[in-house]
Amino acid sequence: MVGLGKGFAKMLRSTLCRVIIAFAVLTIAAIWAITLSRIEYDHQMAIRTTLRASENLAAAFQEHIQLHFDQIDETLLFTKQQYEKQGVVTETIIDRMQSKIFIPAMNLAIIDPQGNFRMSLLANSQTVNVSDREFFQTHRVKDSGNLYISKPVINRFTGKPAFHLSRRINRPDGSFDGVVVCGINPQYFSDFYREMRLGYSYSVTIIGIDGVVRVRQTASGMESGQDVSASSNFRQMQQAHSGSYLSTSVVDYQPRLFSYHHMERYPLIVQVSVLETEALADFREREVKYFRTAVFTSVIILLFYGLLVFMIVKREQLAEVRRESEERFAGAFGHAPIGMALVSPEGRWLKVNECLCQLLGYAESELLGRSVLEVTHPDDVNVNTELRLRMLADEIETYRVEKRYCHKSGFAIPCVLTTSLIRDVQKKPLYFVIQVEDATARIQTEQRSMLEKKRLQAILQIAQMETTSEKELLDQALTAIIELSASQFGYIYYYSEEKEEFTLHAWSQGVMEACTMPNQPTRYQLETTGLWGEAVRQRRPIVDNDFAMPDFLKKGYPQGHAPLKRFMTTPVFIDGKIVAVAGVANKKEAYTDLDVSQLTLMMDSLWNIIERRHAEEALRAANENLDHKVKERTRELDTANAKLIEQNEELEALNEELHRLTLADGLTGIANRRYFDEYLERAWRTGQRQQKPLSLIMADIDFFKLYNDTYGHQSGDDCLKTVAGVLAKSIKRGTDLAARYGGEEFAIVLPDTDLAGAVLVAEKIRKRVADTQIENREAPGHWVTISLGAASLLPSGSESPSSLIALADAAMYKAKNAGRNRVMSS
């Protein structure tokens, strides 16, 4: 992601990418500008359409109301004129005039100057006075000559809302002579508007210019009488004869589109409103579609141009990566710590690095163009031929083999060759990439490890030769030395620094066969030795890989001596003194430091074995002498030990008897009270730690005092022993304890036992005591019986063992009081 981000940062500085991004931004901006412009246009058109429809409705309703009010006014005016001329209007005329009104009038009536009904079709109208009504008071005070439309009130005859249309009646002199009035039920308008089904959000309102609502019809019902003169909506309608506006309703407090129309001949305003949400519902759906289309188009454009920019970025990134990879490869190729080269499919050097040139000993110009086979060891020319052909056939991607190359100086170099093949886009082979690692150090390490293993195996084998003589041991060691060094001959001489004398101890079989000297000597003085004696004189290993080369240190060798080509010898030091010399000869290859090291280590280990054998022999002799003395001393100690053991056994018997006397009851032989207290305390702590129940049984022999009085104390003691024996036999677990608590009372401790288990044990004891049939003439059943009480607790820090004793003791006394010879629990 970081690399991609850096790539985008670079591309943003590219002219092409900037143009593409700018064009994408402009395209999206144009789409949104068109979308927003279209949305705004549709919004305005939706509002205009709704307002135009509302204005038409308001005008139509105004015409409808005015038509009806004109008819009512004509009726009122005719009735007024008739009354003023004739001084009376019959009920027939009133009835006929009321029937001509289209709107179902609540009452057409004539009111006298005192507010009483002078003429009305309503029953009991003579008992009603309307002098307090608004329309009456208005006409009495002033003669406007016009129709008066009152505010809504509750009709005193029907109990329903109503408003009144009225005219003043004058006497001939112009004075007030009453009122002709017609009551209008607002429900008529409500029903009329509801039947038109304008919609749930529409409302139609008839408002007086005094700001009082005569009737307001909504989807939820009819309202009348509200005073809206102080509202901004009413003030808005005062500014023009008709019009439209958007405002918040003072009734439902929601945004509405209002249209209104003032009636020309009456002080009323017809208002039609609709919720903005309903009026613009279709527009909102189109608006959502516009936005979705714009968003979708924008996303498509962003994806298209984003993909285009991404492809440009990726292409440039790949080009950059390729350049960087080539640069890194060139750097790695040139500075690699191993040999690297590019080789043509035909097997010729195309490019080589410095490390490969140093490895092979050639200059770069000497290798380029030459065949790889020219620097390959003749025996390894075909090592990788089959693998190379399989790679060219695209069967394998890489291979790794070991092969030898020839140094310019002529010696062989063991190497590890790793090869891979580079192809073009048409899969045609371009060149091989090879890595050549010098394996000399690894092979030497492997050889050293192998020699170490062989040397250790040889040392182990020699060390395990326990029954052989020292001569056989040296012969075995010499055979191992010859094998380790891959030599033909070998020898081991002991050396005495005091005498400066060599003593032959081991010659290899090959030496004996090749040597034809008569009377072969086995001892040599240092001064008579040639090159092989230099190991002592120079006190270091000596190596000569060309024995034929003249050397003043060489004194030649006598006639018949085994022929020598290469030679190596090393001294063996113990505490700074040379004690032996070992040598080998005639290895096919030159002796190396590794050979010297292995020979030195082998001889050091060998001499340690020899020294150990010498020490073991001395120790064996000393041990034999010591064994004799030890046997004599052992016999003396055995006699003393026998006496001591006899004394210890007597002491242990006395201690056991003392311990038994301390913890056991002297009469019954079971645990005494002291041991019972200690054991119960330990069992309590164990139960508290392990959270396991602890149970206790308290037992008492029934009528024991009568038994003693009848049979005597000796028989009483025998009875106690018998009962104690029954208790001891009735408990099986090693953790249970039977104890004499005191007198004829006994206690049984049962760890990890609940109350039910304790009751079972107690019942078993009771039955077994009864089954012994110890005679007691004075007892009710004539036999000795026992009463037992069982209790159980989960040990805790809030209680103590004494709590358990108290519970068991109380249960035992319950058994006593209940008739004896029974088990009770608590």
Model confidence at 497, pLDDT cuts 50, 70, 90, reads confident
Question: Mind spelling out the 3-state secondary structure of 444-502?
Answer: HHHHHHHHHHHHHHHHHHHHCCCCCCHHHHHHHHHHHHHHHHCCCEEEEEEEECCCCEE
CA angle 221, 223, 224 (to 5 degrees): 160
Q: In this predicted model, what pLDDT tens digit does every residue of 266-325 receive, in sequence order? A: 899 988 888 877 777 777 788 888 888 888 888 888 888 888 888 877 777 777 766 766
The whole-number pLDDT of residue 736 equals: 94
Q: In this predicted model, what pLDDT tens digit does every residue of 414-442 receive, in sequence order? A: 998 899 988 887 889 988 998 988 888 88
Q: What domains can be seen in the chain, in order of their start residue? A: 336-438 (3.30.450.20), 446-620 (3.30.450.40), 664-825 (3.30.70.270)
> Across all residues in the chain, what is the average pLDDT?
82
Q: In this predicted model, what pLDDT tens digit does every residue of 528-550 receive, in sequence order? A: 887 778 888 888 998 888 777 76
Top-confidence range, 494-503, 560-569, 610-619: 494-503
Model confidence at 660, pLDDT cuts 50, 70, 90, reads low
Report whether 554 contacts 567 (CB < 8 A): no
Q: In this predicted model, what pLDDT tens digit does every residue of 221-237 receive, in sequence order? A: 778 888 888 888 888 88
Model confidence at 654, pLDDT cuts 50, 70, 90, reads low
The whole-number pLDDT of residue 768 equals: 96
Alpha helices in 664-754 (DSSP H): 673-690, 704-711, 713-730
For the segment 164-188, the average pLDDT, to the nearest whole number, is 87
Q: In this predicted model, what pLDDT tens digit does every residue of 233-261 receive, in sequence order? A: 888 888 888 888 888 877 777 888 888 88
CA distance 821 to 819: 7
123-127, 591-595, 801-805: which range is least confident on average? 123-127
The whole-number pLDDT of residue 586 equals: 85
Closest CA to 54 of 229, 259, 214, 234: 259
For the segment 318-333, the average pLDDT, to the nearest whole number, is 68
Of 649, 744, 775, 799, the active-site residue reads 744
> Is pLDDT at 374 greater than 70 in this prediction?
yes
> Is pLDDT at 459 greater than 80 in this prediction?
no
The whole-number pLDDT of residue 45 equals: 83
The whole-number pLDDT of residue 50 equals: 77
For the segment 124-137, the average pLDDT, to the nearest whole number, is 84
Q: Find all residues with CB under 8 Å of 652, minimum gap 6, and list them.
A: none
> Is pLDDT at 562 greater than 80 in this prediction?
no
Q: Please state at what angle helix 755-772 crosses helix 713-730, rounded to 10 degrees.
A: 140
For the segment 199-226, the average pLDDT, to the nearest whole number, is 81
Model confidence at 561, pLDDT cuts 50, 70, 90, reads low
CA distance 787 to 545: 111
> Is pLDDT at 651 greater than 80 in this prediction?
no
> Is pLDDT at 102 greater than 80 in this prediction?
no
Q: In this predicted model, what pLDDT tens digit does every residue of 635-647 receive, in sequence order? A: 777 776 777 767 6
455-459, 598-602, 711-715: which range is least confident on average? 455-459
Closest CA to 434 of 452, 415, 450: 415
> Sign of dihedral through CA atoms 545, 551, 552, 554?
positive
Report whether 751 contacts 731 (CB < 8 A): no
Pairing, β 823-825 against β 786-793: parallel
For the segment 75-88, the average pLDDT, to the nearest whole number, is 83
> Is pLDDT at 4 greater than 70 in this prediction?
no
Active-site residue, 778 included:
no
> Is pLDDT at 178 greater than 80 in this prediction?
yes
Which amino acid, 711? Y
The whole-number pLDDT of residue 329 equals: 65
More confident residue, 20 or 774: 774
The owner of tokens 């030159």 is 590
Chain centre to alpha carbon of residue 674 = 61
For the segment 796-801, the average pLDDT, to the nearest whole number, is 91
The whole-number pLDDT of residue 185 equals: 80
CA distance 60 to 521: 155
* Region for residue 586 given its phi and psi (left: phi exceeds 0; alpha: psi -120 to 50; beta: otherwise): left
Q: Considering only CA atoms, give the Rg of the chain.
A: 67
For the segment 488-515, the average pLDDT, to the nearest whole number, is 77
For the segment 66-89, the average pLDDT, to the nearest whole number, is 83
